[in-house]
Amino acid sequence: MANEDKVLEALLKEDRTFPPPAYFIEKALVKDTSLYEEAKKDREAFWAKQAENIDWFQKWDKVLDTSNAPFFKWFVNGKLNVSYNCIDRHLNTWRRTKAAIIWEGEPGDDRVLTYQDLYREVTRCANVLKELGVRRGDRVTIYLPMIPELPIAMLACARIGAPHSVVFGGFSAESLRDRINDCQAKLVITADGGWRRGGIVPLKKNCDDALAECPSVEKVLMVKRTGQDVNFVQGRDYWWHEMMARAPIGCEPEHMDAEDMLYILYTSGTTGKPKGVVHTTGGYLVGVSTTHRMIFDIKDDDIYWCTADIGWVTGHSYIVYGPLANGCTTVMYEGSPDWPERDRFWAIVEKYRVNILYTAPTAIRAFMKWGTEWPGRRDLSSLRLLGTVGEPINPEAWMWYYKYIGNERCPIVDTWWQTETGMILISPLPGVTTLKPGSATIPFPGVEAAVVDNTGKDVPLGSGGYLVLKSPWPAMLRTIYGDPDRYVAQYWSRFENMYFTGDGARWDEDGYFWIMGRVDDVINVSGHRLGTMEIESALVDHPAVAEAAVIGKAHEVKGQAVSAFVTLKEGFQGTPQLIEELKAHVVKKIGALARPEDIFFTAELPKTRSGKIMRRLLRDIAEGRVLGDTTTLADPSVVAQIKQQYESQES
């Protein structure tokens, strides 16, 4: 914890506070604390009231069923359809002609889809899925760039009741293969390629490589995006534009049960195998629409932009489902923030007059590094509210964001949540909460978070411990796909009757939460979660490697960078060429986001007597700290030796 303590010390010295500005409170959707009080009095009644904002084909009988905990059920026997709620119900209002999605491609092309347009595209796509043999309950893997076809495909799946599994376009063929096989997808939706920094990401090529070992997949639907030549397998592959041109408009939405699966999203954990986090229909939609509306203070004339990729949960909940359920205009951008110039984000804000911007600390730190001249050359005066997510934001980055992007006028909502939580759980309400830079502040109404010690007892205010959730919330994951035991073991076993987040946190004298990052073997690179075990397995898969230990090492922009300690098999030399080869191997196995920043060869790894690698000590070495407790090591001299070698190599 030594490093966390230092970070925390710095954070706690942070005593600036920012109450909501009067101009903001005046128009805010939530202006006072009455919602918190209401939810505290009766949590279920609070969520039931929020559920009234959703259109149900059949109302639920019971808000929350705890009889088979931790397999909770929300809105029992309620029937609804997510795509109906995100599209059809807006068609009876003036929003029919409102922009639902404003999309900008990296090369500078753009598209605007009104709710009416979205209806046409989604119902056509739903009919295409049916024609390709997809039935209610079948899984569909979606491996697409950030183009409108991605939310269209997701909504089409939701319409016919086929759970989707979106795989981030930066994942490799092998990662894609494993995710397809885990959920036994019947159809894959991909594109010829996607644009990234002027180059093409070869999605179809990766998909073809993956499908060599995916027997469940019958058909592939391919969007033409980049237009380069691609392999086309007759009878298996279908062009999106050809199928869509033939498909009729209009498709009855399936009446789904509140607890039917809406999607699976894979995320890294503490083992080598990614977990398929399962989200369901009713509670999820209630959770994401409520939090989206209140935390981002959504008004009908807002242009809202979340810069995440839809391949992550942030994009699922706060680009697609939350905003569209609220009838909001959501902006989508395909490419990189520094293409063609480092002001691309600010050019987009200026071009579309974005009012609400939701991004990640790692992006903010990159902007800081690039300098204020980039935002300075654009008109950012449309912005009224800013948000962050993905990792703790350092107060310095918070202040920079506040000053240079928000012009000291816009509140910042620092939102804590996880793939598993589905929705934001700890966050300010911008018209109510006094902000403290670096703190995600307090739990959302109807959410019961706490900081506990090893035995599950609340620690006193002013101290640190484990972040837990003491009661269920509507958008919570329901299970791990195909592995309910892992669901129970991972989240509900560490403490009795509490959900364990895997994060460390402190609460201060005011009850504000200060998240300190993961306490398990999960690292956070640029706001993306990576399991150390996964990267270690990728390294050990290389013929030269005997053993590997991977840690997250503090990094100026990424927050953490992947750093690997590797022991080689007899007869192999730790050459610079081998380092490059190993990095490429990890990219091939997992994807570019897992590429180690550095690889250090060592004769041995520090282990406990029972053989567990002590990554904590390797972190101490990599970050140049005094070594922590070494008394549990089988051979304490190993770690001293590594430290010496490491430091001599660094200098």
Binding residues for ATP: 390-392, 414-419, 503, 518, 529
Structure tokens at 331: 């902006």
Which residue is associated with the tokens 């909504």? 155
Q: Is 391 in the site for ligand WT7 (CB under 6 A)?
A: yes
Count of residues of this chain found to bind ligand WT7 when the rule CB under 6 A is applied: 24
Does 406 help bind ligand WT7 (rule: CB under 6 A)? no
Enter the tokens of residue 131: 């024609």
User: Taking Cα atoms as reference points, which of 536, 594, 528 lies closest to residue 559?
Assistant: 528
Considering only CA atoms, give the Rg of the chain: 24
What is the SS3 string spanning 500-557?
EEEEEEEECCCCCEEEEEECCCEEEECCEEEEHHHHHHHHHCCCCEEEEEEEEEEECC
Residue with tokens 């150390």: 532
Site string for ligand WT7, 251-270 (x = CB under 6 A): ----------------x---
Asked if residue 438 binds ligand WT7 (CB under 6 A), the reply is no
Q: Does 559 bind ligand WT7 (CB under 6 A)?
A: no
Nearest partner of 465 among 504, 507, 515, 436, judged by Cα: 504
Question: By C-beta, is 81 or 172 nearer to ligand WT7?
Answer: 172
Nearer to ligand WT7, 329 or 524 (CB): 524
Q: Which is nearer to ligand WT7, 419 or 563 (CB)?
A: 419
Q: Name the minimum Å distance from CB 8 to ligand WT7.
A: 12
**Around 138, how many Cα atoms within 13 Å sit in the side-chain half-sphere?**
21
* Number of Cβ atoms within 10 Å of the Cβ of 244: 18
113 by DSSP, 3-state: which?
strand
Measured from the CB atom, is 311 or 327 closer to ligand WT7? 311
Helix-then-strand count for the chain, H and E = 23, 30
Site string for ligand WT7, 440-469 (x = CB under 6 A): x-----------------------------
Per the CB < 8 A criterion, the answer to whether 101 and 115 are in contact is: no
Is 479 a binding residue for ligand WT7 by CB under 6 A? The answer is no
Separation of alpha carbons 261 and 279, rounded Å: 6
According to the binding rule CB under 6 A, does residue 364 interact with ligand WT7?
Answer: no
Stretch of 32-40, 114-122, 408-416, 538-546 contacting ligand WT7, by CB under 6 A: 408-416
Which residues define the annotated binding site? 196-199, 314, 390-392, 414-419, 503, 518, 526, 529, 540, 542, 545
Does residue 524 bind ligand WT7 (CB under 6 A)?
yes
Please give the single-letter amino acid code of residue 86: C
Window 299-358: residues binding ligand WT7 (CB under 6 A): 313-314
Q: How far apart are the first and last CA of the chain?
A: 26
In this structure, which amino acid lies at residue 174? E
Within residues 487-516, the interface with ligand WT7 by CB under 6 A covers 501-503, 515
Residue that is written with structure tokens 């808000």 in the block: 63
Span near ligand WT7 by CB under 6 A; candidates 58-66, 458-466, 517-525, 613-621: 517-525
The answer to whether the Cα torsion of 340, 346, 350, 354 is positive or negative is positive
Contact 62, 76 (CB under 8 A): yes
Contacts of 42 (CB under 8 A, 6+ apart): none
User: Does 525 participate in binding ligand WT7 (rule CB under 6 A)?
Assistant: no
- Give dist(CA 134, CA 128) in Å, integer: 9
Closest CB to ligand WT7 among residues 355, 362: 362
Which residues in 496-511 are b (16+ Cβ under 10 Å) and which e?
Answer: eebbbbbbbbbbeeee
- Whole-angstrom distance, CA of residue 329 vs CA of residue 347: 18
Q: Based on the shown chain and the rule CB under 6 A, indicate whether residue 359 belongs to the binding site for ligand WT7.
A: no
Residue ranges for the known binding site for CoA are 196-199, 314, 526
When binding is defined by CB under 6 A, the residue of 355, 415, 479, 563 that contacts ligand WT7 is: 415
451 neighbors 465 (Cβ within 8 angstroms): yes
Task: Choose the binding region for ligand WT7 from 132-140, 524-532, 599-607, 634-642 (rule: CB under 6 A).
Answer: 524-532
From 37-45, 107-115, 124-132, 387-395, span contacting ligand WT7 (CB under 6 A) = 387-395
Q: Which of 570, 571, 551 is nearest to 561 (CA)?
A: 551
* Listed residue (38, 490, 43, 34) closest to 275, CA to CA: 490
Which range of residues in 164-172, 335-343, 520-528, 595-603 is near ligand WT7 by CB under 6 A? 520-528
Which of 279, 316, 436, 518 contacts ligand WT7 by CB under 6 A?
A: 518
Q: Which is nearer to ligand WT7, 501 or 532 (CB)?
A: 501
Residues annotated within the binding site for Mg(2+) are 540, 542, 545
Q: What 3-state class would DSSP assign to 7?
A: helix
DSSP 581: H
Q: How far is the CB of 188 from ligand WT7 (least distance, A)?
A: 23
Amino acid letter, 226? T
Interface with ligand WT7 (CB under 6 A), residue from 402, 417, 487, 565: 417
Going by C-alpha positions, the residue among 116, 115, 114, 191 that lies closest to residue 147 is 191
Among 145, 148, 283, 392, binds ligand WT7 (CB under 6 A): 392
Decide whether 127 or 175 has the Cβ nearer to ligand WT7.
Answer: 175
- 439 in contact with ligand WT7 (CB under 6 A): no
Binding of ligand WT7 by 389 (CB under 6 A): yes
Q: Is 178 near ligand WT7 (CB under 6 A)?
A: no
One residue of 194, 517, 531, 559 binding ligand WT7 per CB under 6 A = 517
Q: Residue 288 CB, nearest distance to ligand WT7 (Å)? A: 12
Which residues sit at the interface with ligand WT7, rule CB under 6 A?
267, 313-314, 389-392, 414-419, 440, 501-503, 515, 517-518, 524, 527-529
